[in-house]
Structure 1
């Protein structure tokens, strides 16, 4: 691995006695991790049924290291959203956020969705998760991962932080700012990050991060928690970014949170300020933990009795029940209990909007909540997202196939399956985990697994 010379010189100056250990970490294999989706499974059950070589990640209750030979991305459980493959150090962010059911949570720079899906697990489909990505193509990938994990209460947006700040003043209980950064902590796993790195880019990133933090601060309600993170080592983007923000915003303080073995305190001497509380922030070094480089700071906004709740304009649900008739007919035939909530139509796409969501006016919406399906002429076609968010207890007809069976492989390749039963929509599951739809007619299950996701 050929690391940039300016980077090496800078790290030697910063780390001094630890520099040799740091450089040796680049000769080691990168650590691989997956995080269980607690909307779909629980730790005890998964451990009983899984066949991988898993070791617990200390800082994530539902996180595990796995081995390269396990290939979890090539398993039906991955398609069913039973787990999310995520870099181990990055999982620490969700742990420090600690979202609680019922809260309003924002992931401001969210693609591809690792941290958002972690927050969704914590919320347990109770509350509101707004997950945003400024780049359209990355926002699409984010939306696909929200879908795969079966999240019902997430709104996916494709907006700038400035636009969101105007729309959501003092609104969120918790905000994640996983800021775009120079990516130094990813050099071991991402050659592109090495190629794009420069000292000038570090400064450009630091400037952009300051702007993003300003917008995030206006969206956090008094008493709320904001978690700032980067995957870089640069003090300009870490300690200096946080110390400068605290200087500008005395209404914020750095929270003291539990640390984990191998986590290092933030360095006051790198911050540019005499601010002892910088020690409450954390660095994850690849020579100290099994993971890549990361930095995390947990900030709390002080309560302020002078701050009044702004006037809010909430989403207006669909009132005309006639427009819902095809869906309601499908729901009556398919569900044991018809889902309740505020229905909205985006064109011909039907959603249930999470409770407490503000108006969509002026926002670029990628996913408006729980995507139920498409309103066709005189009929309703359920979405893949709906299938992935259900379990067998929710529907009248379901089939569970074994993960190692030929039938599940046939289904994932888009093939039909012979079956005897009552006509209608069937939820196809793998070992009890929902995977997709099929429709039974003439003793055959017609496959509705999305063509773009099918196995070769």
Structure 2
């Protein structure tokens, strides 16, 4: 597909200088010209890997495990009629279409079972592949701060978080360089999948190298050094930082990590990734980083480093002007009333380690682990909106169903395939010979797909606008 891609001569000369002796340029160029294998990651917040594999077999999908991610698979599927992104399983959040190599940074972050992460920062989060992977490994516990600098991409990030049933995330929209000063030593773990020159993405984007220059690489590297310093300052002593890029230049990779080491000395410890997966040694550097050329594992070019913070470091002083926090924590009486009404209406129980917060007539559920940060940083969205208060009680919201329901609740309705298609297109549905009152959990097969409201024999559609699809459905 990309046999006619243009690789700048200066870029090829740079690669020739850094290519390990076990690899050769012919294989590198050939790999760059091959299209990527499609890969997906199972969302274990919604379904187990074993159950997903069984579903894939029933659908005729061929899966091959990704060695560095227990929930990742390369997939072969007939997409001539329905693209994977429009399948019922994808829209229900059972899997995420994610490039295989991009699963590696999160796997590296969670590689030590002794690490307990109650507060995690994903510093450059959109569109959400790594954020949703982290949330699944956290099992929706603690708090996951998902930051995205580009305001236009925050909407996509939120849609993916919503689709995947995540309730422990707090979204922010800042330059990542602010975190060291605004939230110093707040996080048990930080992932910085840094903005980069994208040299490794040529197999996915034939134009990735169109505007490449050595000068731009060096300029981006300076930004990356600022970001990794901020990430390290935001990390608690004893915590883990994973730095990754989808590029190949040593200036944006090894040299950025060494900049951190040279800046903070013995507080920085590189942790080797030799044992992250079988044959990781094929891409390991002297420091124990993974520097992955596309021909090695037949994936994108990528870089991953795991770094431990051994001691506190000084963070920059900042002056904060946050303004009045618009939420108020609900009283025990109000929380008890909401808990009771939710149980009576939908058979759903609020999770532990979370609290109800109010803003005007809106009712939100925040993870308790977020509370220490509420007066320190302005978030664009926190936790999940569970209800809107009105005179006769509460009007429950979509995420109550997709993040808290199991599908076994009595107040639920099963849709046929035709009805589920209508539902995902934002239309009301009329389940045959059924009627009811109030809100109802909407299911398709074994999956909770939303929340509706009975109006006689019609279920009024409650799907958020950003999740509505209009064609080529399952």
Alignment of 1:295-444 (within 5 A): 295-302=303-310, 317-319=329-331, 321=333, 329-339=341-351, 341-357=354-370, 358-361=372-375, 363-376=377-390, 379-392=393-406, 395-401=409-415, 405-413=417-425, 414-419=427-432, 420-444=434-458
Provide structure 1 residue ranges, at least 5 long, that are not aligned to the other structure: 268-275, 308-313
- Further displaced range: 12-21 or 38-47: 12-21
Q: Distance in 1 between matches of 2:348 and 2:390?
A: 23
> How does the TM-score come out when normalised to structure 2?
0.85
Q: Which position in structure 2 is the counterpart of 1:291? A: 299
Match of 1:310 in 2: none
TM-fit CA distance, 1:327: 8.2
Q: How far is 1:406 from its partner? A: 1.6
- 1:265 deviation in Å? 4.0
Three-state SS of the structure 1 residue aligned to 2:53 is helix
Match of 1:25? 31
Provide the residue aligned with 1:202 in structure 2.
217
Alpha carbons of structure 1 residues 90 and 39: separation in structure 2 relative to 1, 3 Å? same
Quick one: structure 1 residues 196 and 364, their matched pair in 2 at CA, closer, same or farther if it must change by over 3 Å?
A: farther
* SS of residue in 1 equivalent to 2:386: strand
Find the counterpart in structure 2 of residue 260 from structure 1: 277
**TM superposition shift of 1:306:** 13
Alignment of 1:6-405 (within 5 A): 6-15=10-19, 18-50=24-56, 51=59, 52-67=61-76, 69-70=78-79, 71-98=83-110, 103-250=118-265, 251-257=267-273, 258-261=275-278, 263=280, 264-267=282-285, 276=286, 278=287, 280-302=288-310, 317-319=329-331, 321=333, 329-339=341-351, 341-357=354-370, 358-361=372-375, 363-376=377-390, 379-392=393-406, 395-401=409-415, 405=417
Partner SS for 2:39: strand
| TM-score when normalising by structure 1 | 0.88
CA apart distance, 1:316: 6.3
| Pairwise CA RMSD | 2.8
Shift of 1:165: 2.1
- In 2 relative to 1, CA 343–212 (structure 1 residues): closer, same or farther, beyond 3 Å? same
CA distance in 1 between partners of 2:373 and 2:240 (Å): 24
Seen in structure 2, the aligned counterparts of structure 1 residues 305 and 235 have a Cα distance that, compared at 3 Å, is closer
Question: Which residue number corresponds to residue 272 of structure 1?
Answer: none
Q: Give the aligned length.
A: 439
Cα distance change, pair 385–192 in 1 and its aligned pair in 2 (3 A): farther
Give the match's secondary structure for 1:196.
coil
1:48-98, Cα deviation, whole Å (9 max, x unpaired): 122222111111101011126343211011111111110100001111111
* Structure 2 residue matching 1:111: 3-state secondary structure: coil
| Rounded Cα–Cα distance in structure 2 between residues aligned with 1:225 and 1:217 | 9
Deviations 1:126-184 (A, max 9, x none): 21111111111112211221111101111111122243222321111111011110000
Segments of 4+ in structure 1 off by > 4 A? Answer: 99-102, 303-307, 320-328, 376-379
Match status 1:449 vs 2:449:
no
Cα distance in 2 for partners of 1:197, 1:321 equals 60
Q: 1:395 to 1:365 in 2, by over 3 A?
A: farther
Change (3 A) 1:304 1:204: closer
Match of 2:322 in 1: none
Distance 1:20 1:110 in 2: 34
